[in-house]
Structure 1
Amino acid sequence: MTGLCVISARGGSRGVPGKNIRPLLGRPMIAWSVEQALATPEIDRVVVSTDSEEIAAAARAAGAETPFTRPPELATSEAGKFAVFQHALAACEDHYGEEYEFFLDLDCTNPLRDTADISAAIAQFRARRPYGVDGVFAICEARKNPYFNMVEPDATGALKLSKTLPGTVVRRQDAPPVYEHVASIYIMTPDYVRQAGYLLDGHMEGYDIGPEKSFDVDSELDFAIIEFLMKRKLGIAP
């Protein structure tokens, strides 16, 4: 069966306009993800889901296929990402007539991951499938812990810990581990994509990608951080 990778990139970003094709170290942002997918041996087909012809052209120039246009109702800031997955899978099955071993999405605003991360996440998915796991997605240890230093106001406005245990956690090291959902790598069975209502609807597990690869572009600050980290990773002088 075929390993399908879909890179989702809508045209109407609000926080960082045009971020999916914004130049990053001389290449459109999306090109980094396309090139990573093409270099991953477990992936057989690389498709971009977009509503923008400008993004589609940049994706094709990097080597991806764009066999369909994402419908307008799935290209708004209110559209859920899982519905985008479902549309892309159905569109690829209809266009190519293929059966897929897995559906893999790469977030195109996180170029910090490596091809080795994608392969390792696929290997974890394959190893866990016999145990009923529906998919794997990228996580990292959370920078803030709701049992220790994340707070929220109660009805009176007084700040309280977001989560509590019997007794008070007075050291970060004593707090239970919690993880951030990292917008980077998502691998699922096609059946799960078709049938689930949202990402955590079934048995999803985490691939720990580490904190330095966990940034994605939602703001100008994010872009500056990623650009700095990419330069350091590639040995480019600031």
Structure 2
Amino acid sequence: MIAGKSVLALITARGGSKGVPGKNILPIAGRPLIQWTIDAARASRYVDRLVLSSDDRAIIEVALSGGCEVPFRRDSALASDEASSIDVVIDALQRLPGYDIVLLLQPTSPLRNTADIDGALDLLAASAAPACVSVRAAEEHPYWTFRLDDAGRLRRYAEPAGGLPLRRQDLPAAWCLNGAIYAARVDWLRHERSFLSAQTVGFAMPAERSLDIDTPDDIERLKSLLEKLPSTSGPEPKVTP
């Protein structure tokens, strides 16, 4: 609970991954991938209940043995490629009513730690915003990205002030979603059906904890990062209002 509000943490993990088969329970440094998220959430100061939404028996068994509650099995219709994450979250909220804040944690962000989770919830409470999502610094700045028009000519996606080229050190900060943390006030989320809005605040995470597992190359990158980190907890996160 935070600021008098109850918090439901939801881990979403379906079977049938195409990029990395069985990735959610793939052993990483002695733990199944999903266990990294379970452990981080269970150590939170604010999470009142941690549950899994999954259609896959193997994932469910691993989650249960790892200390995550599985009060229901996700319907197959919500485990298809066409199903959206927000549909899965709303389904869980309908099955588990009575919570003020929902926290979506995807197991494909294993380096997100407890301090990140609690930091995002702190920011949500302190800002009085309806939602908070985690972000990382953009690798390619929007001012330096282009599209090609019908004639093959370069057109900027975003124009700098005055339309002038900028040096890297002159660029304003740019952020990308990293997929690690999505938090929102339940009543607002039911109405908006999205974590993103003009009122959503961003919780900044460093690049080394923002890895999102989607391909075999991501698995190798994760293993490489783990070899370099002094610990799995990482430094304290930075908060941006």
**TM-score normalised according to structure 1 size:** 0.90
| Superposition map of 1:158-173 within 5 A | 158-165=153-160, 166-173=162-169
| Alpha-carbon displacement from aligned partner over 1:175-234 (angstroms, at most 9, x marks no partner) | 332211011011100112211132324521100011111111011111111122123225
Q: How does 1:142-157 map to 2 (within 5 A)?
A: 142-148=138-144, 150-157=145-152
Describe how 1:108-119 pairs up with structure 2 within 5 A.
108-119=107-118
The Cα offsets for residues 86-122 of structure 1, whole Å up to 9 and x where unpaired, read as 11111122xxxxx223100111111111211111111
Q: What is the TM-score with the length of structure 2 in the denominator?
A: 0.89
Residues 229/162 of structure 1: CA separation in 2 closer, same or farther (3 Å cut): same
Kindly report which structure 2 residues correspond to 1:210-229, keeping only aligned pairs within 5 A, or say none: 210-229=206-225
Contact (CA 8 Å) 2:10, 2:52: kept in 1 or not? yes
Q: Which runs of 5+ in 1 are unaligned?
A: 94-98
Pick the aligned partner of 1:3 from 2, 7, 10: 7
Answering whether residue 193 of structure 2 is matched by residue 189 of structure 1, we say: no
Structure 2: how far apart are the matches of 1:185 and 1:154?
35
Aligned-pair identity in percent equals 34
**Which structure 2 residues correspond to residues 1-238 of structure 1 after superposition, within 5 A?**
1-93=5-97, 99-129=98-128, 133-148=129-144, 150-165=145-160, 166-201=162-197, 203-234=199-230
CA distance in 2, matches of 1:227, 1:192: 38
How big is the alpha-carbon RMSD for the aligned residues of Structure 1 and Structure 2?
A: 1.6
Q: Tell me, which stretches of 5 or more residues in structure 2 are unaligned? A: 233-241
- By how many angstroms is 1:152 displaced? 1.4
1:96 equivalent in structure 2: none
Asked whether the 8 Å contact 2:103–2:181 carries over to 1, the reply is: yes
Equivalent AA in structure 1 for residue 111 of structure 2: L
Return 73-82 or 47-56, whichever deviates more.
Answer: 73-82
- 1:134-170, Cα deviation, whole Å (9 max, x unpaired): 111100110101102x221111122332211322223
How many residues were matched structurally?
A: 227
